[in-house]
């Protein structure tokens, strides 16, 4: 992406990214010292120094004057706390979008401002600045070029947003700091949207299309159903799937597939209108929640979308691609699970539409329910429940090794292995956890599985007598439901007492998403077990929901860097820069880092050069049965 103020050349973009990450690290280091009123302006200058951003503004929550309604973010009085390079004609739009972002608590992306007005140009992205319980402000960034923002742009800006949150909180937000003065006064307080968390890291943009991610879509849908900060009724849900998308990817490659996704996303933006919730739900799947009067109106919208996509023809690398979509429709009822139910029903209707040959529309009904998927789930659930009863669950162990032994690891340092769950079905087939754990979560079996894994792991490790195992450490995964189950804490402590196993030999892994979804429960769970000597790892860090603010508050020992970033670092300089940044900031916060998905020698060399502490993946060690490793 070479804008008018960027030097040409394939390596220029990554140089600018590295410069920006350097500025980010300087701001993070500065967090240990005194923040002052110049920090937001420092952040603005750092952003503009990154030449792929042409303008930015940082807005505090509330306006310059106090208002009777403290829960209102009004663009009429919204003045930037700091700004640089933002054209005057964009000021009103930037303030309007920022006010909206502060109300709803998640990012907004306009890939082509010309669609809003012919007098505007370029693209705008706005992210909320979040404290654990309040929206503190918004960060708006503008580029002269339309459709310019890439996945790493939003991730990078998310890190800046975290740093700005620290700065604003240090200045007194949300305790009444003035929006335009470095001194505390009686100005407006940052407002927290009622009855909902404001952790924007869990509510992000899809990096390819700029639409809401699945988690953001589901949160926005739930807000609409709950009558949250932007109350409205959304009685219909449309689930869209791109026909023959696997063939497009297989024959055209990832670039072609991503181009098709962006084309479809742009058509959905244009044809579906403004008053909708629109997101990318999966690889080639999209969702629209819309307020329409009748089913006929919903079918008419679906037909308009099908025709709009069908009219597209894309030629790439000499190959012509016809694009079409299938759509499933479902009404959204009432109740706290209504959104999840409508998503499932619309998905099943979409599957029925695909079976008609694609380019079709299907309204959900019991008659077209996806019986095949239900049967598959039922069969797997039977396998799982019988495996629990008949002792057909198996534990494997995969090594986590020092990335550069002898450099950071003292002699005789403890080895670490992650415990992996497998299931043996009645036919003798071994299933990985990915085949049954999501179903176990949905059916309320995950805590029961976690209990079995904990009990069996503790028993086997305590009974092992192989020389050299005394200092070994096992990492055990926990589900989200287990973190919320206070009885599990008592169970774990009982198992330590029953087996005589030292707590220092166990490291519990929880995913980043689980940790920040209920931060208070996670903090309590971690604190109780760390007090008796257990360690903790934050898994899948950097997977798209990361917030270094929450990392400060979680007393974890290890950061496991998300494997989807790690496996690309040998060929993608952007992934390399992000892994380096996560490692740097993790080290500043006193955490040790683990790189997942180390599957070839080049990736291992890259993480060694970065300074990551540990490596995990097929290149350094494959899983083997836990009993075999202990024997």
Question: What is the three-class DSSP state of 483?
Answer: helix
Contact assessment for residue 211 and residue 322, using Cβ atoms and an 8 Å cutoff:
no
3-state secondary structure 21-46: HHHHHHHHHHCCCCCCCCHHHHHHHH
Six-digit token string for 238:
């449309």
In this prediction, residue 192 carries a pLDDT of: 35
The domain that holds 67 is classified in CATH as 3.30.450.40
Calpha distance 371→377 (Å, rounded): 10
Angle at 529 between CA 523 and CA 532, to 5 degrees: 140
Q: Clarify whether residues 485 and 564 are in a common domain.
A: yes
Residue 134 gets which letter from DSSP?
S
The domain that holds 502 is classified in CATH as 3.20.20.450
Q: Clarify whether residues 364 and 499 are in a common domain.
A: no
Q: Clarify whether residues 272 and 319 are in a common domain.
A: yes
Six-digit token string for 254:
């990832």
Is residue 105 situated within a structural domain?
Answer: yes
Of 394, 398, 401, nearest to 457 (Cα)?
Answer: 394
Is residue 376 situated within a structural domain?
Answer: no
Of 90, 37, 83, nearest to 57 (Cα)?
Answer: 83
Q: How many domains are there within the chain? A: 3
Calpha distance 437→450 (Å, rounded): 10
Q: Clarify whether residues 240 and 191 are in a common domain.
A: no
Calpha distance 383→420 (Å, rounded): 18
The domain that holds 350 is classified in CATH as 3.30.70.270
Per-residue pLDDT of 538-575, as tens digits, reads 887 875 444 566 677 788 999 999 887 898 888 888 78
Q: What's the gap between Cα 393 and its chain centre?
A: 30
Is residue 59 situated within a structural domain?
Answer: yes
Q: Clarify whether residues 545 and 613 are in a common domain.
A: yes
Residue 205 gets which letter from DSSP?
B
| Global confidence as pTM | 0.48
Write the DSSP assignment of 557-575 as a string of letters. SEEEE-HHHHTTTTT-HHH
Tell me: cis bond preceding 220? Omega within 30 of 0 counts. no
Per-residue pLDDT of 573-608, as tens digits, reads 878 888 998 898 888 888 999 999 898 899 999 999
Q: Clarify whether residues 504 and 617 are in a common domain.
A: yes
CA distances from 79 to 58, 64, 72, 137 (A): 9, 7, 14, 11
**552 contacts: CB under 8 Å, gap ≥ 6:** 589
Q: Which of 150, 178, 205 is the last residue of a domain?
A: 205
Of 92, 193, 101, 103, nearest to 154 (Cα)?
Answer: 101
Contact assessment for residue 221 and residue 289, using Cβ atoms and an 8 Å cutoff:
yes
Is residue 343 situated within a structural domain?
Answer: yes
Angle at 473 between CA 534 and CA 587, to 5 degrees: 70
In this prediction, residue 199 carries a pLDDT of: 36
Q: Clarify whether residues 99 and 191 are in a common domain.
A: yes
Six-digit token string for 262:
């962006």
Calpha distance 233→386 (Å, rounded): 43
**386 contacts: CB under 8 Å, gap ≥ 6:** 392, 426
**543 contacts: CB under 8 Å, gap ≥ 6:** 511, 512, 513, 562, 564
Return phi, psi of residue 135, to 5°: -85, 120
Is residue 385 situated within a structural domain?
Answer: no
* Residues in the chain, pLDDT under 50: 1-13, 30-32, 63-75, 175-203, 228-232, 370, 407, 410-414, 544-546
For 425-563, where are the E strands, in sequence order? 430-432, 473-477, 506-511, 535-541, 558-561
Calpha distance 320→511 (Å, rounded): 42
Of 356, 309, 302, nearest to 329 (Cα)?
Answer: 302
Residue 538 gets which letter from DSSP?
E
Q: Clarify whether residues 168 and 230 are in a common domain.
A: no
Q: Clarify whether residues 78 and 180 are in a common domain.
A: yes
**482 contacts: CB under 8 Å, gap ≥ 6:** 446, 447, 450, 488
Q: Which of 205, 236, 255 is the last residue of a domain?
A: 205
Structural domain range at position 604: 392-422+447-630
The total number of residues written for the chain in this structure: 631
Is residue 247 situated within a structural domain?
Answer: yes
Of 221, 348, 229, nearest to 290 (Cα)?
Answer: 221
In this prediction, residue 491 carries a pLDDT of: 95
């Amino acid at each position: 992406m070479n804008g008018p103020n960027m030097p040409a050349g394939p390596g220029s973009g990554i140089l600018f990214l590295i410069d920006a990450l350097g500025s980010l690290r300087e701001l993070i280091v500065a967090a240990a010292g005194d923040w002052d009123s110049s920090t937001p302006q420092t952040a603005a200058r750092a952003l503009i120094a990154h030449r792929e951003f042409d303008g930015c503004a940082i807005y505090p929550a509330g306006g310059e004057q106090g208002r009777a309604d403290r829960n209102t973010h009004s663009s009429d009085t919204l003045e930037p706390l700091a700004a640089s390079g933002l054209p005057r004609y964009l000021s009103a739009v930037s303030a309007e979008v920022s006010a909206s972002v502060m109300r709803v608590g998640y990012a907004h992306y306009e890939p082509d401002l010309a669609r809003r007005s012919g007098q505007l140009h370029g693209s705008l992205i706005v992210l909320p600045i979040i404290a654990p319980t309040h929206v503190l402000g918004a960060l708006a960034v503008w580029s002269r070029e339309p459709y310019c923002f890439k996945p790493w742009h939003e991730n990078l800006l998310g890190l800046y947003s975290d740093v700005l949150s620290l700065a604003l909180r240090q200045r007194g937000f949300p305790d009444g700091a003035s929006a335009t003065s470095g001194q505390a006064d009686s100005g407006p307080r940052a407002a927290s949207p009622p009855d909902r968390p404001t952790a924007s890291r869990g509510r992000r943009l899809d990096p390819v299309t700029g639409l809401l991610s699945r988690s953001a879509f589901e949160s926005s849908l739930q807000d609409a159903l709950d009558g949250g900060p932007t109350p409205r009724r959304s009685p219909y849900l449309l689930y869209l799937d791109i026909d023959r998308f696997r063939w497009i990817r297989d024959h055209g490659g990832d670039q072609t597939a991503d181009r098709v996704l962006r084309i479809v996303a742009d058509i959905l933006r244009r044809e579906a209108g403004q008053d909708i919730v629109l997101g990318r739900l999966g690889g080639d799947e999209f969702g629209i929640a819309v307020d329409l009067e009748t089913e006929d109106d919903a079918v008419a919208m679906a037909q308009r979308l099908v025709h709009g996509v069908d009219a597209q023809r894309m030629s790439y690398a000499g190959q012509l691609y016809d694009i079409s979509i299938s759509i499933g429709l479902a009404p959204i009822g009432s109740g706290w699970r209504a959104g999840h139910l409508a998503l499932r029903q619309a998905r099943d209707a979409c599957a029925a539409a695909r079976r008609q040959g694609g380019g079709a529309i299907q309204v959900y009904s019991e008659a077209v329910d996806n019986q095949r998927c239900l049967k598959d789930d039922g069969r797997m659930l039977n396998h799982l429940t019988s495996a629990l009863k008949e002792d057909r669950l198996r534990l494997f162990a995969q090594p986590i090794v020092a990335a550069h032994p002898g450099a950071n690891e003292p002699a005789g340092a403890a080895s670490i292995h992650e415990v992996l769950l497998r299931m043996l079905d009645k036919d003798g087939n071994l299933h990985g956890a990915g085949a049954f754990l999501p179903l176990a979560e949905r059916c309320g079996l995950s805590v029961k599985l976690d209990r079995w894994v904990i009990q069996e792991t503790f028993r086997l490790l305590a009974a092992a007598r192989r020389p050299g195992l005394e200092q070994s450490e096992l990492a055990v995964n926990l589900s989200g439901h287990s973190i919320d189950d206070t009885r599990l804490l008592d169970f774990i402590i009982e198992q330590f007492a029953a087996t005589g196993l030292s707590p220092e030999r166990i490291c519990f892994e929880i995913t980043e998403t689980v940790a920040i979804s209920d931060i208070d429960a996670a903090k309590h769970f971690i604190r109780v077990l760390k007090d008796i000597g257990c360690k903790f790892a934050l898994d899948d860090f950097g997977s798209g929901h990361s917030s270094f603010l929450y990392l400060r508050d979680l007393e974890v020992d290890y950061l496991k860097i998300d494997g989807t970033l790690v496996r690309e670092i040998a060929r993608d300089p952007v992934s390399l820069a992000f892994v380096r940044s996560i490692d740097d900031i993790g080290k500043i916060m006193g955490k040790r880092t683990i790189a997942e998905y180390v599957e070839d020698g080049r990736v291992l060399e890259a993480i060694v050069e970065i300074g990551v502490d540990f490596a995990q993946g097929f290149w350094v060690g494959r899983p083997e049965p836990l009993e075999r490793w202990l024997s």
